[in-house]
Chains A and B, each alone.
Chain A
């Protein structure tokens, strides 16, 4: 039996440490990992818990992130509760195996500490790796601070392992901004946390010798499509399970999570849609701007990046007073509008209000997202609302040095 870890009612933890504590409390059977900045301390922490008897499980050293995810797939197919952590280049190296994990319906939990992708090489936080995973068939949940990283890591096991879901889950947090920023965290006692996560229920496990199974079968054009459709449906349907798990977590802790978080949207005239730690800064900016200038700003933050909450994003934006919405993408868009802009705009198109939609790229490679800059962008949205048409380029760049960069103009003016 694993030893109990003594915890205070309030701890001052950074996102990495909070995450490693949640992984310890979930009593994972196998962690196969290849540490990489800025997620290294999650793996380090877990290794120490195993070595010191706080976890009854295995830590598997591998030669690369491709090996790490492969080890996770093997261990999960064998029938264990499995988790790992990675960032950036490591995430990219795993990419091939991510699709195997989801296609094989293995509920691996991966805590991803978001970091920019090279080149240029950069260890700081943006959402390039998170965006890279968005078609991989994983559930993707986003924590905006260390407390949420702890809470959502626990929820991730419940969501992924639910028998109606059985899909791998990525729990994202922002590199350094969240992963290395210590703040008040209110952890659960070990037994309470484990009871919430629950015992692992294996499905089609290879170690069940009374029911031999083949994992990873090949399918060609006659079967592949049906399997991918079934997988997609499971991911789409996981929305109700995510809602249930969040509701149960609220009952246990009083801390409420929704697939789409909304702040001050009831009477909002303009809104920002964004992900990650910037959401918190944007909330602060919106509150200040409401006080200082009376501009009615609201914030919409998809907590759940996949399955994309088309339903709740649309609901959040279907506010009669809403005129202008800016979607902010913290990932280099590579020759397109930002992904969040595209997806949110698609949801907004089927609302009654059909607000004006603009796109900002920001925060690449860890560029600081300032309260003042958030306010400037909000005021710009107000200018669109007052003019009745988009007064700037549709895609712009926030906090970028050099001549103004922007693309495309509205034809609705």
Chain B
């Protein structure tokens, strides 16, 4: 698996909402939330896995347990159109240099939007049961549909 799919060690380390609730003396001044630990140069030009995300950033939280069904990605069919990347409401489509790499399962809630917007035939993304293994899913991928006349 590429580094891009794994992300950095900080990604999805805790269940969302399970953060330690500090007292009034430790909360941030003015409810200001820092995205990163310390100073960072040009974070906009860094890939997520290269950024030192702060505990306050949702990058370090996971919502994987919220998911009942999950999208599975089929590289063989994908045309890298980036539709799923644009539409995903949780920035859980991992794409590098306009090439689709896969799903960020730490942050995907299983909403299925990516499948809905996928334009290929058959689709390059399909929803499967959370318990379904990726290999079984890919093995059961449907055939191309014929155009109805």
A-side residues, CB < 8 A to B, are 103-106, 166, 203-204, 209-217, 219, 222-223, 225-227, 229-230, 233-234
Distance between B44 CB and nearest chain A CB, rounded to angstroms: 8
A103 to B41, CA, bound (A): 29
Report whether A233 and B24 are in contact in the complex, using a CB–CB cutoff of 8 Å: yes
Query: How many residues of B are in contact with the other chain, CB < 8 A?
Result: 22
| Cβ 8 A contact of A213, one of B35, B41, B42 | B35
With contacts A209-B42, A222-B21 known, is A214 near B33, CB below 8 A?
Answer: yes
Distance between B103 CB and nearest chain A CB, rounded to angstroms: 26
Chain A residues in 8 Å Cβ range of B27: 223, 226-227, 230
Report whether A210 and B31 are in contact in the complex, using a CB–CB cutoff of 8 Å: no
Chain A residues in 8 Å Cβ range of B23: 226
| Cβ 8 A contact of A103, one of B31, B40, B42, B56 | B31
Chain A residues in 8 Å Cβ range of B42: 209-210
| Cβ 8 A contact of B39, one of A106, A210, A215, A233 | A210
| Cβ 8 A contact of A219, one of B29, B31, B38, B40 | B31
A227 to B22, CA, bound (A): 11
| Cβ 8 A contact of A215, one of B21, B24, B30, B38 | B30
Report whether B39 and A214 are in contact in the complex, using a CB–CB cutoff of 8 Å: no
Distance between B46 CB and nearest chain A CB, rounded to angstroms: 11
A sample of 19 cross-chain residue pairs with beta-carbon separation below 8 angstroms, ordered by A number, consists of: A104-B30, A105-B29, A105-B30, A105-B32, A209-B42, A210-B40, A210-B41, A210-B42, A211-B39, A211-B40, A213-B32, A214-B34, A215-B31, A215-B32, A219-B31, A223-B27, A226-B24, A229-B24, A230-B24
Report whether B36 and A204 are in contact in the complex, using a CB–CB cutoff of 8 Å: no
With contacts A105-B29, A166-B29, A230-B29 known, is A213 near B24, CB below 8 A?
Answer: no
Chain B residues in 8 Å Cβ range of A219: 31
B-side residues, CB < 8 A to A, are 21-25, 27, 29-36, 38-44, 56
Inter-chain residue pair count (beta carbon < 8 A): 69
Report whether B40 and A204 are in contact in the complex, using a CB–CB cutoff of 8 Å: no
A233 to B38, CA, bound (A): 26
Chain B residues in 8 Å Cβ range of A214: 32-35, 56
| Cβ 8 A contact of B34, one of A213, A216, A223 | A213
> Which 5 pairs between the two chains have the least Cβ-Cβ distance?
A105-B30, A229-B24, A226-B24, A214-B33, A204-B32
A212 to B38, CA, bound (A): 10
Distance between B45 CB and nearest chain A CB, rounded to angstroms: 11
Chain B residues in 8 Å Cβ range of A210: 39-43
A216 to B28, CA, bound (A): 12
Report whether B31 and A211 are in contact in the complex, using a CB–CB cutoff of 8 Å: no
Distance between A152 CB and nearest chain B CB, rounded to angstroms: 24
| Cβ 8 A contact of A211, one of B24, B36, B44, B56 | B36
Report whether A104 and B39 are in contact in the complex, using a CB–CB cutoff of 8 Å: no
Q: Which partner residue on chain B sits nearest A215 by CB separation?
A: B32
Chain B residues in 8 Å Cβ range of A213: 32-35
With contacts A210-B40, A211-B40, A212-B36 known, is A204 near B21, CB below 8 A?
Answer: no
Report whether B30 and A106 are in contact in the complex, using a CB–CB cutoff of 8 Å: yes
Q: Which partner residue on chain A sits nearest B43 by CB separation?
A: A212
Q: Which partner residue on chain A sits nearest B36 by CB separation?
A: A212
Q: Which partner residue on chain B sits nearest A223 by CB separation?
A: B27
A211 to B52, CA, bound (A): 11
